[in-house]
A and B are shown apart, each in its own frame.
Chain A
Amino acid sequence: MYTSLTNRRSFIKKMAIMSAMTAAATMFPGILFAEEQEEKLPKGGNLDWKKAPCRFCGVGCGVLVGVENGKAVAVKGDPKSPVNKGLCCVKGYHSVMSIYGKDRLTKPLVKKNGKYVETSMKEALDLIASKMKTTIKDHGKDAVSIYGSGQWTIPDGYVASKLFKGCIGTNNVEANARLCMASAVTGFLTSFGLDEPMGCYEDIDHADVFILWGNNMAEMHPVLFSRLLDQRLKRGVKIIDFATRTTRTSMAADKSIIFQPQTDLAVANAICYEIIKNGWVNKSFVEKHCSFNKGLTNMGYGLEDKYKFKDKPEKIDFEAYKTFLEDYTPEKVERISGVSAKDIKYMAAYYGDPNKKVMSLWCMGMNQHTRGTWINNLVYNIHLLTGKISTPGNSPFSLTGQPSACGTVREVGTLTHKLPHGVVMKKEHREHAAKIWDVPVENIDPKPTYHTVEMFRALDRGDIKFMWIQVTNPMVTMPKLKRYRDACKKEGRFIVVSDIYPTPTTDIADVILPSAMWIEREGMYGNSERRTQYFEQMIQPSGEAMSDTWQIVEVAKRLGYEKQFYYKEETHIEEIYNEYRRHHEGKKHAMAPLEVLKTQPGAQWPYVDGKSTKWRFNSEYDPACSNGEKFHFYGKPDGKAVIWQRPYEPAPEVPDKDYPFWLCTGRVIEHWHTGSMTRRIPVLHKAMPHAYVELNPEEAKQMQIRTGDSVKLTTKRGEIILPASVNERGVPEKGQVFVPFFDENMLINDITLDAFCPISKQPDYKKCSVKVEKV
């Protein structure tokens, strides 16, 4: 065999080096040759690891992304992150693969005569700006709108709010977090006057009992659930799953308690009844720190266009509240909820036991609820009555679904009534924002316009002509989808969609902008525990893809707002964040400076004197407390949290003769929301290739349906055919079915109901009535 001279030469060279080294090693034991050693080290273990918050859910795990040759090739959990402590879930570990789907959008597309034509970014942005100008001129400023997302980074949401609310002067700014977090927000505001949890994930390390309210944590917040399981292993804590369906969480829990849909309202009241009856009320806490309110009842369900509702809070006293609760004895509630009086007393006993620290956790089960604000209030009632709040381990904790639902939508305030600090209705809040935004205060409209469902209804009616949709996929996620899909296709509507892959939403777009996602750009997310996390740009965006922030900045400049959008392209994220921080100055909401976020795995606001605040409203931890007591609920003018009198009211659509089943929708562990990213990750798609309808095994047997058989679901809004799933991932109770919503080929939202909570305006995806047939 031919051996080249160079090979021979290099062989001799290596031999010489080796013998020299051997000689050296014998003479000087322990000597090392750095270069030689490094050269021989394998590449695989030596990637460049850079920190970022995970792209997917609201837990906000810290991940380390391995980059090689300008490509993201690996992910591991960040052991330094206090959120996940090094662990991820299957979505997180494979998250970087979602960047590399073959059909990534890399060029802007403009619809011409029904066909999409490639164009340059400059032309596309010109077209958007000119379309906005003419729409505003012909139809007024309230004819343009932006629909964003809880997956927006903080700078994305900030520039969107500044452009639309500050410069253009319309409150047509909404985000998909209206569909997932609005009830949590109104729950916090009505009970405490300030949004977002008082506690943090560290509560998990202190609590003795965990009660999960309609929250399949094992699949939806798996990393936090593993922290619960870890605590059970080490400290023997109790996990109680209170849900409508048997899931992995129920299997893992120490006790699974099943209730009938909507009756959580009654059970929560029954727990309060038991607490008062048994004398478990923390009297001094309630006297010092709580007041009692009642609001309007029979609010309706928002099913009709232009539905309006405003709650009228009214002060009551403890005796009136006690009398009200007499309708909710465990025995009476057992009849409507299907939860035995024994189980209600069992849960009440844990809440009432002064030596047990209790953490309540919930997410969509309580938020996507036509009485979502109420059920949030009611769980706070339990914690307030027993004084189990704002201390390590005693924590009512509202989990979020999206990576920056808190950071962007709730804190930056990309909802129609919100400003980065405060609400549009208040003059001082408008003045504060206008000053920082450098706009005349009259620019900011004091009247909120449309919440999400109503915004799409306005698009249908023609009140809105232009909509820009970023980082979300409403043509899969809107309830009663068909109406809103048809609305988008109507003549005279102009829809811009910024996304990374073709989706059902890009299908209805007039202009599609390719976006740079996650680590292809710089940004920040804010997670459920008030933690703001920064990520740097690690790789180049695909093709001409541009960050959502810069897309908006470019359009703003074209609309003539160069003065307000003065940011330089190289440093705009830093400039925007620093400007945004000014809105939140003060002890109640100060945000950590960017330099801090760059060096550590996030910081929790209020960030005061170089310190994160772990437990708000507790004077031991929260520097904003100023009343000299142990607790100070400074969100309310009187410094007191509110215990609300909220009754049980039935759902708008309950199973009847024609539609005898409850239909519940939700997620699965493998897929993130509508699957536009996770379905392009081979591991995840292969594990969960399509949607299905879960049936109760006994009823499936009666109907002679087996796993894989086609089943037709019919509601008053339409019908859909899905494969059956019997005794697999989840088991619904009798009279209920469950369908995951990620599959764009089987759009379950075509048949869901667009009823919403009158206070939060968040739709209820968990309850409507449906007919089930084998086909």
Chain B
Amino acid sequence: MKRLGIISLFVILFMAFIAVWNISYQSGMEEAYIPVENTNPISLIPSETGVFTRSKYALDYVNMPVDEQHQRVLKNYYKNRAFHGAPPSIPHPVEDERNMGDNSCLKCHQNGGFVNKYDAYAPVTPHPEMINCRQCHVPEHTKQLFKETNFYKADPPEVGVNNALQGSPPVIPHQIQMHENCLACHAGPSAPKEIRVSHPERVNCRQCHASNNKETEDIGIFKRTNNNEQ
């Protein structure tokens, strides 16, 4: 009886093994399952984010003394842009023609800092996450032109005339696409002195500064349709 018990136990165990082995073998034969995940396409450049990107440095900016000797001026800021809003060209020689920005450009342009060689503070990029820098920013290897151009360089917006009322916060007079991150250009030692913000600690810039960004179509004078009257 005891022997029968032991035998039947082993028989059951053996059958269980066969079953388990069979199931695992069968599932191994099945084609691998490709999990379907619902990935929402992520927008590359969300227009409203970025404002807070550099806000962690805001208090540093407040405490930073102004280096009067090495201030950038707005005229120079516009000089190496083909038009207002164009990506700036690279005004210095580039050592490595092949590398991506994360190994080269960003060393200086991610957080800025004083560069002895050029006697200036390195400007800070508003979009360090885009590392193919020379997709848009190119150096200058010659001063000569292939042919003259008649391109009309429109005047950039002026400073100090953008308040609607006296003392009201100025509107943003430029496109913010690709530079949603205000503090990159408006704070720190590399910011042009005319546009350096007096209160970098108030990081929610667009709380007070509205954008004056006319998109493709003007909606004209807004009229409220009154459903009751129709």
Contacts from A to B (Cβ < 8 Å): 18, 21-22, 25, 32-33, 36-37, 40-51, 64, 66, 68, 71, 73-77, 79, 82, 84-90, 93-94, 96-97, 99-104, 202, 205-206, 218, 222-223, 225-227, 229-230, 233-234, 246-248, 250-252, 282-284, 354-355, 357, 501, 669-670, 675, 679-689, 728-731
Q: Enumerate the 4 nearest inter-chain pairs by beta-carbon distance, A residue then B residue, closest first.
A: A354-B32, A687-B138, A42-B157, A85-B44
A519 shortest CB reach to chain B, Å: 14
Q: A102-B148, A205-B39 are in contact. Are A44 and B157 (CB under 8 A)?
A: yes
Q: B40: nearest residue on chain A (CB-CB)?
A: A205
Q: Once the chains are docked, how many angstroms separate the CA of A679 from the CA of B144?
A: 11
B86 adjacent to A93 (CB under 8 Å): yes
Contact A728 B97 (CB under 8 A): yes
Question: Nearest chain B CB to A335's CB is how many angstroms away?
Answer: 29
> Known contacts A45-B174, A222-B135; is A94 also within 8 Å of B86 by CB?
yes
The residues of A that contact B212 with a CB separation of less than 8 Å are: 41-42, 45-46
CA of A248 to CA of B100 in the docked complex: distance in angstroms?
7
28 contacts between A and B (CB under 8 A): A18-B166, A22-B166, A37-B164, A43-B155, A44-B156, A45-B172, A45-B175, A45-B212, A47-B154, A49-B215, A64-B216, A76-B175, A79-B47, A87-B45, A90-B138, A97-B149, A100-B150, A101-B150, A104-B150, A229-B132, A248-B99, A252-B100, A354-B32, A354-B34, A682-B82, A682-B151, A728-B98, A729-B97
CB distance from A293 to the nearest CB of B (A): 25
Q: Is B4 an interface residue (CB 8 A)?
A: no
Given contacts A18-B166, A90-B137, A686-B142, contact A102 B174 (CB under 8 A): no
CA distance A572 to B153 in the complex (A): 33
Contacts of A687 in B (CB 8 A): 89, 138-141
Residues of B within 8 A of A229 (CB): 130-132
Once A47-B214, A680-B147 are accepted as A-B contacts, the answer to whether A218 and B132 lie under 8 Å apart by CB is: yes
Tell me if A44 and B145 are in contact (CB < 8 A): no
Contact B82 A94 (CB under 8 A): yes
Interface SS of B by simple majority: loop
Q: Verify A251–B129 contact, CB threshold 8 A.
A: no
Chain B nearest CB: distance from A717 CB in Å? 27
Residues of A within 8 A of B134 (CB): 90, 248, 669
Docked complex Cα distance between A673 and B130 (Å): 26
CB distance A282 to B213 under 8 Å? no
Q: Please tell me if B1 contacts chain A, counting CB pairs below 8 Å.
A: no
Least distance between A290 CB and chain B CB atoms (Å): 15
In the bound complex, what is the Cα–Cα distance between A66 and B175 (angstroms)? Answer: 11
Contacts of B35 in A (CB 8 A): 355
Q: In the complex the two chains form, is A40's CB within 8 Å of B161's CB? A: yes
Give complex CA distance A247, B42 in Å: 28
Query: Which residue from chain B places its CB closest to the CB of A102 in the assembled complex?
Result: B148
Q: Cβ of B213: which chain A residues have Cβ within 8 Å of it? A: 45
Q: Are B31 and A282 in contact, CB atoms less than 8 angstroms apart? A: yes
Known pairs A501-B147, A689-B141; list 14 more (Cβ under 8 Å): A33-B164, A37-B164, A40-B164, A45-B174, A84-B44, A93-B82, A94-B86, A97-B82, A99-B151, A251-B103, A355-B35, A682-B145, A687-B89, A728-B97
Q: In the complex, A94 Cα to B161 Cα: how many Å?
A: 28
Given contacts A25-B165, A688-B141, contact A93 B153 (CB under 8 A): no
Q: Mark B25-57, 1 if CB is under 8 A from A, else 0.
A: 000000111110001011111010000000000
Whether B85 sits at the interface, judged by CB under 8 Å, is yes
Among B39, B163, B174, residue most surrounded by chain A Cβ atoms (within 10 Å):
B39
Q: Given A21-B165, A36-B164, A44-B155, A89 and B135 touching (CB < 8 A)?
A: yes
How many Å from the CB of B170 to the closest CB on chain A?
A: 10
The one of B129, B130, B143, B154 that contacts A44, using a Cβ cutoff of 8 Å? B154
| Interface contact B32-A251, CB-CB below 8 Å | no
- Inter-chain CA distance A226–B129, complex, in Å, is 10
B141 touches A686 (CB 8 A): yes
A41: which B residues are within 8 A, CB to CB?
162, 171, 173, 212
Residues of B within 8 A of A688 (CB): 138, 141
B169 at the interface (CB under 8 A from A): no
What does DSSP make chain A's interface, helix, strand, loop or mixed? mixed
B31 pairs with A86, CB closer than 8 A: no
A85: contacting residue among B39, B45, B100, CB under 8 A = B45
Contacts of B186 in A (CB 8 A): none
A312 to B89, CA, bound (A): 54
In the complex, B6 has a CB within 8 A of chain A = no
Contacts of A250 in B (CB 8 A): 98
List residues of chain B with CB within 8 A of the CB of A501: 147
Does residue B8 face the partner (Cβ distance < 8 Å to A)?
Answer: no
Name B residues whose Cβ lies closer than 8 Å to a Cβ of A.
31-35, 39, 41-45, 47, 82-87, 89, 97-100, 103, 129-132, 134-158, 161-166, 171-175, 177-178, 212-216
In the assembled complex, how far is the CB of residue A700 from the closest CB belonging to chain B, in whole angstroms?
15
Give the chain B neighbours of A99 by CB distance below 8 A. Answer: 151
Docked CA distance A46–B162 (Å): 12
Q: Which residue of B lies closest to A49 (CB)?
A: B216
**Among A45, A225, A679, which residue has its beta carbon within 8 angstroms of that of B146?**
A679
- CA separation between A651 and B33, bound complex, in Å? 41
**Which B residues touch A670, using CB under 8 A?**
138
> Which single member of A45, A82, A206, A679 contacts B214 (CB below 8 Å)?
A45
- Cβ contact within 8 Å between B144 and A689: yes
Q: Are B147 and A101 in contact (CB under 8 A)?
A: yes
Task: A32 to B171: give the CA distance in the assembly, Å.
Answer: 14
Residue of B nearest to A82 (CB): B41
B64 to chain A, nearest CB (A): 29
Q: How far is the CA of A89 from the CA of B142 in the complex (A)?
A: 21
Whether A100 lies near B152 (C-beta < 8 A) is yes
Query: When chains A and B are docked, how far (Å) is the Cα of A100 from the Cα of B82?
Result: 13
Partner of B151, one of A100, A248, A669: A100
Please determine whether A283 and B31 come into contact, CB atoms closer than 8 angstroms: yes
User: How long is the Cα–Cα vector from A82 to B45 in the complex, in angstroms?
Assistant: 11
How many whole Å from B61's CB to the nearest CB in chain A? 25
Is the pair A73, B32 in contact by a Cβ cutoff of 8 Å? no
Q: Are A86 and B161 in contact (CB under 8 A)?
A: no
Chain A residue with the shortest CB-CB distance to B81: A683
B162:A42 contact, CB within 8 angstroms: yes
Cβ contact within 8 Å between B136 and A90? yes
B216 touches A86 (CB 8 A): no
Query: In whole angstroms, how far apart are the Cα atoms of A205 and B39 in the complex?
Result: 8
A40-B164, A76-B175, A252-B131 in contact; A202/B41 too (CB < 8 A)? yes
Chain B residues, Cβ within 8 Å of A234? 42
CA distance A221 to B83 in the complex (A): 24
Query: What is the bound-complex CA distance between A76 and B43, given in angstroms?
Result: 17
- Nearest Cβ in chain B — how far from A341, in angstroms? 24
Q: In the complex, what residues of B have CB within 8 A of residue A22's CB?
A: 166
* Minimum CB distance partner of A92 in chain B: B136
B162 with A680: CB separation less than 8 A: no
Q: How far is it, in angstroms, between the C-alpha of A66 and the C-alpha of B89 when the chains are bound? A: 20
In whole angstroms, what is the CA distance A354 to B34 when docked?
6
CB contacts (< 8 Å) of B86 on chain A: these are: 74-75, 93-94, 683
Q: In the assembled complex, how far is the CB of residue A385 from the closest CB belonging to chain B, in whole angstroms?
A: 13
Of all chain B residues, the one with the shortest Cβ separation from A233 is B129
In the assembled complex, the Cα of A741 lies from the Cα of B214 at a distance in Å of 40
Contacts of B178 in A (CB 8 A): 76-77, 86-87
Which of A88, A247, A682: most chain B CB closer than 10 A? A682
A32 contacts across to B, CB distance below 8 A: 164
- Complex CA distance for A223 and B132, rounded to whole angstroms: 9
How many angstroms between the C-alpha atoms of A284 and B32 in the bound complex? Answer: 12
For A88, the closest partner residue in chain B by CB is B136
Q: Nearest Cβ distance between residue A478 and chain B, in whole angstroms? A: 22
List, in ascending order, chain A residues with CB within 8 A of B165's CB: 21, 25
A669 CA / B152 CA spacing, docked (Å): 24
CB neighbours of A44 from chain B (8 A) = 84, 154-157, 173-174
Checking A25, A74, A669 against B83 with a beta-carbon cut-off of 8 angstroms, the contacting residue is A74
B173 touching A42 by the CB < 8 A rule? yes
Q: How long is the Cα–Cα vector from A688 to B139 in the complex, in angstroms? A: 9
Q: How far is the CA of A281 from the CA of B212 in the complex (A)?
A: 57
B110 to chain A, nearest CB (A): 14
